[in-house]
Every structure is written in structure tokens, then in C-alpha cells.
Amino acid sequence: MKGISKMVKKKWSPDILNKLIIASGKTYDQIAADAGIGRSTLNKIINHRYPPSADILISLANYFGVTTDLLCGQVSDEALADILIVYPEYFTGLLRCSYEKSLESTPRKIPAGYISIWPYNLLDDVFQEPVSFVMTDDRMDGLYNALDMLSDREKEWTILSYRDGKANTEIAEMYDRSSNRVMQVLHKAVRKLRHPARRRLIMDGVNGSREIAEEREMISFQKRKLIQERMELEELKKDVEDLRNRPPLQSLDPLDSPLDIAELDLSVRSFNCLMRADFKTMRQLLNRISAGELYFVRNLGVKSIEEILQKLYDMGYITYDQAVDYAEANKVNQFKATSWSPMVHERKEGIA
């Protein structure tokens, strides 16, 4: 260890480390997390503020699959150039071996017929933890349906990277783009797949998602029916004099439970904007939307606000007049709710 420390202090330069990082296609955050190094420490090493300690140098060498001598520049320029040519493919294989070893140490079962880590490597990034469920044929159909919801480029590059094992640099050469651009597109694709609706499609499969969708539709219908019954009860309270001295009717309010805004099935942009602004439950959303707070949510444009109002109206959480009032409160001047389904004629008659 002392010999390594002396060699690092005399010979260390971050140039080779930077070249390995670029060839690997990994971000600084990924490297710091996987190699067990602090993000700020890695920044200081890369920016040449101080050389790494012997322990950190060994951790970096193990992560990139190279020797400490190579990281410290104890190799000729010609040999380094030859290494960098084949390094993207070598690093991809290194990660695959490491991942397959991790599968052996976990209780996860890979179904018969799957000879590679696909699609579990993609699912781990989507769910942000090692998945424990088996990918049946129905779930695989759900995964491909979720991939079909991405753009053509996002779908193609995701399959090339995760299923075919192509490094970012290889994909960049195939499409004449930079490796950084490939990395950005892959990160965007994974973020889109994390949308609750797409995650459910993967976990439940095509058939399971269809059954759940039908069940959700039935629940939504029951909610609208309960809301209508509640409003009718409120009208009866006003008309029947005997009810004045009685306790209020305990009608069922769907908002009394902590409903998640994921039930609205919003677009990726609208959902992410609301989550970043700490809109978690339906009660929070309705209270804050009536106060005009949607207008101040970062990156939430007029179309997104109109989408949210329309969803709330379609699912029976607000009336038509409330939708118009909330649109005005949030500075959406041209909003006009689209009529919907069985209760539309009743809304026009003033019941809703």
C-alpha cells in the first residue's frame, strides 16, 4: 500500500481516468455509486485537486477492470491507444459478468429460455432496485408495449443497449451521434418507463393490465355514482325541514381516503411536474388548484393545466363550473371542458 501511495503522488494524472470514463459511457454519479466513492471526492480527483488514496485507486482500478499501473500512467501511449480501442466492448462484458454474478447471489429466478440478463438489467434501472418477479410471456408483451410508447429512437437505442449489449460509443458510431447524446436519450427513455402506468403494464402484463383497467373503470363509475348520490342528499337536506335539527348526513366522499394523483393517469410531463412540486394526494391537488397554485409550478404549461382539469372533470372530482373557475384562477383563459359519457346530460340539467 505504501508503494502504491508513493507511485500515485509522483505519477498521478487524471487524463487516463477521464479517457476510461468517456469510453465506458458512464456518468460520474454512476461511477461514484458503483465504485463506492463519494461524488465530491471523485470530482476533486478528476479535476486534479489531489491524487487518490491507495484504497480509492484500487477501487477505481477494480471498477474499470484495469491495473493501478495503467491508471497511474505506467504504460506506453501506443499500448494505451490499443486498450482504448477495445475498451467499450471490454467494459460492457465486464459489467455483464458482474451483473450475472449478482444474479447468482440473489433469490431471483431467471425463466427457462433466457440466456442473458435481458430484460432484468433494464427493469432494475426502471424500478431503481433489483426486481424479484419472473418475466412471463405476458409481462414481456407488456414490456414491449411500454417500449412502443417511446419514440422510435428511444426504443431502438434502449434495445441496442440493454438487450444487445451495445456500448454507448458503438451506438454513437452506428447513428453518427456523440456518446453523451446516446447517454441522454437512454436516460430519458428509462425516465419515461418509470411512469406509473408503464410500470403497471410491465408488472401486470397485457392481460393483467386489461383486467385492472376494467376494474378501475368500474371503480371510477362507482365514485361518480357516489358523488352524484351525495349531491342529491345535499339537495334533500335543503328541502326537508326535519333534517335541520339532525346531524349532517354521513355521505361517502371518495376524497376522504389518501388517493394518489397517479390515478389521474396524466402524461409524463404533467405527472413529473406535480411530483416535483410536492402534489402527492388528490386532496392536496384540489385544495392547491383552487388557490391558483398550478400557474406557479415550474415547467407546467397551459396544456398541462388543461389536461389536469379535464382529467379531474372526467373522473367526477370537480363539476363543469368548478373546472372553469379553476382554469381562470390558474390563468388559463381559453379552457373549455370536453363533455363526457353517461352523466353529461345530467350535468347539463344541473345535477352535477
Which pLDDT score is estimated for 115? 46
Mean pLDDT to the nearest integer, 253-261: 58
Give the CATH H-level superfamily of domain 2-88. lambda repressor-like DNA-binding domains (1.10.260.40)
Mean pLDDT to the nearest integer, 23-32: 79
Which of 90-99, 183-192, 279-288 ranks highest by mean pLDDT? 183-192
- CA 212 centroid distance within chain: 21
Mean pLDDT to the nearest integer, 160-175: 85
CATH of domain 254-352: 1.10.150.20
Segment 311-336, tens digit of pLDDT? 888 887 888 888 888 888 888 877 77
Please enumerate in sequence order all residues whose Cβ is within 8 A of that of 47, keeping only pairs 6 or more positions apart, or say none. Answer: 14
* Confidence band of 193 (pLDDT split at 50, 70, 90): very high
- CA 139 centroid distance within chain: 18
| pLDDT top residue among 333 and 125 | 125
Q: Which residues pair with 261 in a beta bridge?
A: none
Which of 64-78, 110-124, 203-217, 337-351 ranks highest by mean pLDDT? 64-78
299: pLDDT strictly greater than 70 = yes
| pLDDT top residue among 104 and 132 | 132
Which DSSP category does 47 fall into? Answer: T
**CA nearest to 293, candidates 325, 266, 331, 334:** 331
**CA nearest to 191, candidates 143, 280, 126:** 126
Rounded to the nearest integer, the mean pLDDT of the chain is: 76
Cβ–Cβ under 8 Å, residues 352 and 318: no
Which pLDDT score is estimated for 11? 58
Which pLDDT score is estimated for 154? 93
Mean pLDDT to the nearest integer, 82-92: 76
* Confidence band of 43 (pLDDT split at 50, 70, 90): confident
Read off the C-alpha cell for 251. 355521505
pLDDT above 90: percentage of residues in the chain: 6
Mean pLDDT to the nearest integer, 96-124: 61
Which pLDDT score is estimated for 185? 92
Give the separation between CA 140 and CA 138, rounded to whole angstroms: 5
Q: Which residues pair with 260 in a beta bridge?
A: 281
| pLDDT top residue among 243 and 320 | 320
Which pLDDT score is estimated for 284? 81
Which pLDDT score is estimated for 333? 76
339: pLDDT strictly greater than 70 = no
As its CATH architecture, domain 109-198 has: Orthogonal Bundle (1.10)
Q: Where are the domains of the chain?
A: 2-88, 109-198, 254-352
245: pLDDT strictly greater than 70 = no
Mean pLDDT to the nearest integer, 113-119: 61
| pLDDT top residue among 284 and 151 | 151
Which of 26-30, 59-63, 170-174, 311-315 ranks highest by mean pLDDT? 170-174
212: pLDDT strictly greater than 70 = no
The amino acid at residue 78 is: E
pTM: 0.38
